[in-house]
């Protein structure tokens, strides 16, 4: 009797343990499944072509200055950017995702110390947002594909647009026009 009692008592416990294990495995499988199907877009492009990366992934491909400006909405000091006084002919692409942003044909000398353009290559390639930092309201300019902060747009530019896209050089990579 002394031996029988513990076996009877232990048996249901063993069964319960096994069921628990099965349940745990099932839950784990479900969790792993979610993990695989969920953030699969990270590090690549989603259905709409937007580039989505984690902060760590951006840090890996950007310099500290590029990261500070594009991912943390920083601003480079006036007259320090590599393109404020640059006159090459070609395209300026997003330093984060390569999106076509501005043409050298739209670049003009604003005297502000930042690269200035009167229009983007296409309205679709940029997006804007209201920026109320520093106690004033400005219009922030972002890359529409990856959300990189590029700079701001002001309404004191030259004709025909009257706009001045004031862009951080560190947010762009210049690509020289190829000879055809
Ligand atoms: Zn971009």
The CATH number of the domain where 92 resides is what? Answer: 2.170.150.20
Residue 171 C-alpha to ligand 1 middle, in angstroms? 9
Q: Which of 17, 37, 68 is the last residue of a domain?
A: 68
The CA-atom distances, in angstroms, between 50 and each of 83, 84, 87, 96, 170 are 26, 28, 30, 12, 21
Count each helix (H run) and each strand (E run) in the chain, helices first.
3, 11
Residue 107 C-alpha to ligand 1 middle, in angstroms? 19
Residues 172 and 100 in one domain: yes
The catalytic residue positions are 166
Q: What domain range is 80 assigned to?
A: 76-176
Nearest to 165 by CA among 145, 138, 144, 146: 138
CA dist., res. 173 & res. 178, Å (int): 15
CA dist., res. 106 & res. 83, Å (int): 13
The answer as to whether 3 is a domain residue is no
Positive/negative CA dihedral, 60, 147, 124, 90: negative
Residue 99 C-alpha to ligand 1 middle, in angstroms? 5
Query: Number of structural domains, the chain?
Result: 2
Residues 86 and 61 in one domain: no
Residues 110 and 158 in one domain: yes
Residue 82 C-alpha to ligand 1 middle, in angstroms? 18
> Which residues, including other chains, have CB under 8 Å from residue 26's CB and lie 6 or more apart?
none
Residue 92 C-alpha to ligand 1 middle, in angstroms? 11
Residue 128 C-alpha to ligand 1 middle, in angstroms? 13
pLDDT tens across the length of the chain (180 residues): 454 444 444 444 444 444 454 555 455 445 443 333 333 334 577 777 899 999 999 999 999 999 999 999 999 999 999 999 999 999 999 999 999 999 999 999 999 999 999 999 999 999 999 999 999 999 999 999 999 999 999 999 999 999 999 999 999 999 999 876
pLDDT for the residue 10: 45
> Which residues, including other chains, have CB under 8 Å from residue 115's CB and lie 6 or more apart?
81, 83, 84, 86, 92, 107, 166, 167, 168, 169, 172
């Amino acid at each position: 009797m002394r031996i029988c009692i513990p076996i009877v008592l232990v048996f249901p416990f063993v069964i319960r343990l096994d069921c628990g294990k099965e349940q745990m495995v099932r839950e784990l499988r479900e969790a792993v499944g979610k993990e695989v199907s969920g953030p699969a877009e990270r590090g690549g492009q989603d259905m709409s072509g937007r580039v989505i990366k984690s902060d760590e992934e951006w840090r890996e491909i950007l310099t500290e200055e590029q990261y500070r400006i594009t991912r943390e909405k920083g601003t480079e000091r006036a007259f320090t950017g590599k393109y404020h006084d640059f006159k090459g002919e070609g395209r300026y692409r997003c330093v984060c995702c390569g999106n076509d942003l501005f043409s050298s044909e739209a670049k003009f000398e604003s005297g502000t110390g930042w690269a200035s353009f009167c229009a983007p290559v296409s309205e679709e390639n940029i997006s804007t947002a209201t920026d109320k930092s520093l106690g004033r309201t400005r219009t922030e300019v972002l890359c529409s594909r990856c959300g990189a902060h590029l700079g701001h747009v002001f309404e004191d530019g030259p004709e025909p647009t009257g706009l001045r896209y004031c862009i951080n050089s560190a947010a762009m990579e210049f690509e020289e026009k190829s000879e055809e």
